[in-house]
Amino acid sequence: MQNPTFAPLSASSDETLLDRLQRGAFEYLRTYADPRTGLVADTSRPGAPSSIAVVGFALSCYPVAVEHAWIARAEAAAQTLKTLRFFADSVQGEAAEATGYHGFYYHFLDMRSGRRVWDCELSVVDTALLIAGVLAAAAYFRAEGDAVETQIGKLADLLYQRVDWCWAANGGRTLTQGWKPGYGFLQYGWEGYNEATIAYLLALGSPTFALPSDSFAAWTRTYQWENLLDVDVLYAGPLFTHLFSHAWIDYRGIRDAFMQAKQLDYFVNTQRAIRVHREYGARNPHGFAGYERDLWGITAGAGPTREQAAGSTLRVYGYMARGAPYGPDDGTLAPWAMLATLPFGRDDALRGTRQLLARYPEVCREDRFASGLNASLVTQDRPWLSEGWYGLDQGLLVLMIENALSGLPWRLMRECAYVRTGLLRAGFAGGWLDS
Amino acid sequence: MTDAIEQEWLRRTRPPDWQNPKPPAEPYDLCILGAGPAGLVAAELATRHGLRVAVIERRGVGGNSLHAGSVPSKALIGAAPRDRGGPKPDFSAVRAHMRGVRARIAGYRSIDRLVARGIDVYFAAARFATEQSVLADDVPLRFKKALIATGARPEDVSIPGLDAVGCLTSETIFDLEVLPPRLAVIGGGSLGCELAQAFARLGSHVSLMQRQPKFLPGVERDAAELLTRSLELDGVETRLNTEVIAAHVESGERMLDVRSGELRFSIAADAVLLSTGRVPNVQDLDLSKAGVRFDAATGVTVDDFLATSNPHIYAAGDVCVRRQFAHVAEATARLAVHNAFTGGGASSSHLLIPRCTYCRPEIAQIGLHIWEAAERGIPIKSYTVLMQDVDRAITDGLDEGFVKLYVREGSDEIVGATIVAARASEMINEVSVIMNAGIGMRRLASVLHTYPAQSGAIYQAAMAFARNQPAARW
């Protein structure tokens, strides 16, 4: 059955299509925000906690929404201030029920109380995504003489400056992934390129707890430069790893030592990663339904569970960071992922998205993409589709569409002195950094 | 009571009625401590040069590789079903196969052959008495040169209660007569992963625990992640970042108390395999009496030419090298004997060491790791071919894995490789020949390979390199 909301969308112009999908994604962030804390739900499922990363995306999306007149500036500023106040006033400490520690925050928080849930970790990279949102909001809401916006700026400084990045390095040269009460720092190794670049840039730009400048070189030492499917690329498997820090940082024309040696930049590298994903879709080595050069998007997200795939020969992974071409790959595509690459290749992103919408219209309800589609797992003549919506998908989509349309998120962060300092201390030079 | 296989095994490795020879009046040219791969190769090489040789062996001829290492483990892996979910073989038949294989291979390096070469074999505990003499039990043997090749043994790990619970090591697991329904494996290195997968395919429910964030810490991320998925598809319960902190018996069951993050729980097992590493056999050798420096953790201290701090004594194999493999033991033994008797300067650091973990798929490596290259300031580009894009891998239905050739940027020099494939142990040897011969990617791209072949992946990587270069003029 055709989705009634989408049916007219498939025939709409690119402009309308983008506007509706961007608006639909933003409305998730507004609809699923707690009115008291400002925290935003990780997913639309009942009882879902907040993910601090989703909050970071939401804070960055309010300026976009103001510019599109989807929300009044005063309302957006008030919502932003409420959220920042919540974090500023939240309990920081070693106790398991605190909201954060050393300026970092637990990955998942109770929507109402803000307390840690699921015994989750104090997350370095998710805190970085939150702080990126805080700084983006502060860069936008800075109208002189406006008490609310002035307060946003002050709280943003407070929240950023109290993040003790040095503590999170646990005596080493590189950041740990996190910490847990009663256990200590997580041992999970970070090897190779991934979404943590944003954490390093923020850690290097800190006026209070800056990492030593050689920490970025230590981090990039595990990079692997590959010729993969005939593409030279700094590899990372899941597509989101090539997108997350790009939601805020305009990498066009700026290069660190690694990229200087390769004579390209991280923006171009993401374009190349997309080529790898499209080529993988064309080769479709496992013969999954739907995969094509113009239908791709393998990344982290929801997928069918073993229980849901019972009776099928398909080996499935549930919620998983999927990657191409090494895998894991169980035939699950992230419907939002192609459109999230819009700044890196408008034609490919739109052609893929239209192809997806035409073939699997059910992936988009209320102008909002589901997290996962597995067309190889069909029950009752319908491909498997994840339930509800995921906040990270929606937040990333709002920012990436906006970066492609107006560049507002990139522009805001280019104006952020902390980010600029972080980039320079990481060894980035050239392009807009030189101006 | 011993069966025919056992009798053959003993006859070849340590005959029950063996009588140690009477030491000669003159010192031996070469006295070798240990009859493993290093000791046997050294003895053979020395006698080929007309030297008088004694070998002192504590256990049986063949060393760890034959008794409790590569040979029995590969026999076990070979007997495990190739297809996931296939019928489980009878474990007693698997065990008979493994013991038969071991006894058969023992024939190629049997004690008869040593004796036939004029080698004096002493089954005894060896310990140095002076700088140029050693005791075989209490019998003094003098030597002009000695080679320490005593190998390594499973590391003892201090886990409270583990001794009382009882655990298997690589030296005892191959003696199992009954397949344990539940096997807990502590340690996710090569042997731990290999045996975890093999026992899972044989029908055990296996829990594999690894303290570190990935299995096979010495391999790159993509290989380790692929292995993890493969283990899980075989039904192995994989537990990374997990430490066994204690063990106890509860209602007659072996229980391992485990910490994973802030979680603590217990795992019940019918058998526990401890596979956390190996330590060199330097204890009880009285090395200080011979003036040989050593370290309990790293073994006998040797220079690049395998000479110890005593100019009369050399060392080879697991007792002194980081890469504890039979083929490395043999190679270092050849170098050590050569250097001991020629005064030559054959260097061990120039050895290119191919190595493999024999899981399914196999994971093989040679040369530099990516991170080693980075530390040395060598810029690398990995030319990667997925096995899923290799015709023969597709036709065989064995398309898991990849070939990565690490090439020094700005050149066509191959400095290392990682291969994950059904027969990576064979394919890596092509890369070994290529690297030893100094063949670069350009020339490799012009070397014909049979089609279709799994090793076509190596050729495809070279062709990717060729495509990556500016087109040459016609």
User: CB distance B233–A227 less than 8 Å?
Assistant: no
User: Which burial class, exposed, middle or buried, applies to A346 when counting CB atoms under 10 A from its CB (0-12, 13-18, 19+)?
Assistant: middle
Residues of chain A predicted below pLDDT 50: 1-6
C-beta of residue B400 within 8 angstroms of C-beta of residue B361:
yes
Q: Which of B225, B258, B276 is the last residue of a domain?
A: B276
Out of B276, B297, B330, a domain closes at B276
Q: Using H for helix, E for strand and C for coil, what is the string for B263-290?
A: EEEEEEECEEEECCCEEECCCCCCHHHH
C-alpha–C-alpha distance, residues B394 and B266, integer Å: 42
Strands B53-57 and B28-33, bridge-based pairing: parallel
Q: Considering B342, B369, B393, which residue would you say is the last residue of a domain?
A: B342
- B103 with B252, same domain: the answer is no
Interface check for B163 against chain A (CB to CB < 8 A): the answer is no
Nearest Cβ partner for A221 among B225, B371, B404: B371
Residues of chain A found within 8 Å of residue B213, distances taken between Cβ atoms: 187-189
Residue B144 sits in the same domain as residue B171: no
User: Given this model, what pLDDT does residue A189 score?
Assistant: 67
At a CB cut-off of 8 Å and minimum separation 6, what does B240 contact? Answer: B188, B210, B212, B213, B214, B215, B228
Which residues lie below 8 Å from residue B368, measured CB to CB, with a gap of 6+? B376, B378, B380, B406, B415, B416
- Does the pLDDT at position B34 exceed 50? yes
> With contacts defined as CB-CB under 8 Å, which chain A residues touch B388?
283, 285-286, 325
| B83 in contact with A, Cβ within 8 Å | no
Q: What three-state secondary structure class fits A55? A: helix
Instruction: Find out whether A299 and A325 touch, Cβ atoms under 8 Å.
Output: no
For residues A376 and A289, what is the distance between their CA atoms, to the nearest angstrom? 5
Give chain A positions within 8 Å (CB) of B215.
none
Examine the domain organization and report whether B63 and B146 are in the same domain.
yes
Residue B454 in domain: yes
Least confident range of A215-219, B2-6, B284-288, B453-457: B2-6
Q: Which domain CATH number covers B53?
A: 3.50.50.60
Q: How far apart are CA B461 and CA B455, in angstroms?
A: 10
**Residue A70 to residue A76: CA distance in whole angstroms:** 10
**Residue type, position A235, single letter:** Y
Contact at CB, B241 and A186, closer than 8 angstroms: yes
**Stretch B78-90: mean pLDDT, rounded?**
84
Looking at residue A187, its pLDDT comes to 74
pTM recorded for the entire structure: 0.94
> Which pLDDT band, with edges at 50, 70 and 90, does B54 fall under?
very high
Q: Is A282 helix (H, G, I), strand (E, B) or coil?
A: helix
Torsion angle, alpha carbons of B421, B427, B429, B430, to 10: -150
CA of A171 to nearest chain B CA: how many angstroms apart?
18
How many angstroms separate the Cα of B470 from the Cα of each of B407, B465, B466, B473? Answer: 17, 10, 8, 9
Return phi, psi of residue B455, to 5°: -70, -5
Mean pLDDT of all residues belonging to chain B = 95
Nearest to A189 among B214, B370, B399 (CB): B214
Q: At A233, list the tokens.
A: 């690329």
- At residue B86 the predicted structure's pLDDT band, cuts being 50, 70 and 90, is confident
CATH assignment of the domain containing B379: 3.30.390.30
| Percentage, residues of chain B above pLDDT 70 | 100
Same domain flag for B284 and B269 = no
Evaluate whether A107 touches A123 at the Cβ level (below 8 Å). yes
3-state secondary structure of B93: helix
pLDDT in tens, A298-312: 999 999 999 999 999
State how far the alpha carbon of A227 is from the alpha carbons of B10, B441, B461, in Å: 53, 13, 9
pLDDT in tens, B120-156: 999 999 999 999 999 999 999 999 999 999 999 999 8
Q: What H or E segment, with its residue span, contains residue A340? A: helix A337-340
Q: Which two tokens stand for residue B461?
A: 């990587």
Residue B78 resides in a domain = yes
d(CA B87, CA A202): 55
Q: Which residues pair with A381 in a beta bridge?
A: none
Whether residue B51 is contained in a domain is answered as yes
Chain A contact set for B226 (CB, 8 A)? 326-327
| pLDDT greater than 90 at residue B355 | yes
Segment (H or E) for A320: strand A320-321
Cβ–Cβ < 8 Å for A61, A29: yes
Helices marked H in B166-317 — which ranges? 190-202, 221-233
Lookup: tokens for A358? 């035409």
Please tell me whether residues B182 and B264 are part of one structural domain. Answer: yes
Residues B135, B9, single domain; the answer is yes
Buried b (16+ CB within 10 A) or exposed e, B146-157: bbbbbbbbbeee
Residue B231 lies in a domain: yes
Residue B351 lies in a domain: no
Tell me the shortest Cα–Cα distance from A318 to chain B, in angstroms.
Answer: 13
Q: In whole angstroms, what is the distance from residue A330 CA to residue A322 CA? A: 8
Contacts of A133 (CB under 8 A, 6+ apart): A55, A56, A57, A58, A59, A60
Report the first-to-last Cα separation within chain A, whole angstroms.
54
Strand partners, A368: A365
Could you tell me which of B413, B463, B462, B459 has the C-alpha nearest to residue B440? B413
User: A94 — contact with chain B (CB < 8 Å)?
Assistant: no
Strands B53-57 and B120-123: parallel
Task: Report if residue B200 sits inside a domain.
Answer: yes
- CA B295 from chain centre, in angstroms, equals 21
Residue with token string 């699950």? A332
Strand, helix or coil at A373?
Answer: strand
pLDDT in tens, B414-455: 999 999 999 999 999 999 999 999 999 999 999 999 999 999
Could you tell me if A191 lies within 8 Å of chain B, comparing CB atoms?
A: yes
- For residue B348, is it within any domain? no
User: Tell me, what amino acid is at A85?
Assistant: R
| Domain around B373 | 361-468
Looking at the structure, tell me whether residues B70 and B53 fall in a common domain.
Answer: yes
DSSP H or E segment with residue B380: strand B380-386
Closest listed residue to residue B78, CA positions, set B275, B355, B354, B358 = B358
Q: Where are the alpha helices (DSSP H) in B49-168?
A: 63-68, 70-79, 91-106, 111-116, 162-165
Q: What is the pLDDT of residue B344?
A: 79
CB contacts < 8 A, A to B, total 80
Domain co-membership, B219 together with B310: no
Write the DSSP symbol of residue B427: H
Let me know whether B206 and B335 are in one domain: no
Alpha-carbon distances, residue A198 vs A118, A208, A420 (angstroms): 25, 17, 12
- Claim to verify: residue B205 and residue B115 sit in the same structural domain: no
The residue among B141, B105, B123 whose CA lies nearest residue B39 is B123
Q: What's the total number of domains in chain B?
A: 3
B301 and B287, same structural domain? Answer: yes
Give the nearest chain A residue to B399 (CA atoms): A285
Contact, B308 vs B300, CB < 8 A? yes
Residue B436 lies in a domain: yes
* Residue B234 in contact with partner chain A when CB distance is under 8 A: no
Q: Verify that B187 and B229 share a domain, yes or no.
A: yes
Provide the residue type at A331 as one letter. G
What does the block give as tokens for A85?
A: 């106040």
User: What is the per-residue pLDDT for A3?
Assistant: 43
Question: What's the distance, CA B158 to chain centroid?
Answer: 24
Does any CB of chain A come closer than 8 Å to the CB of residue B402? yes
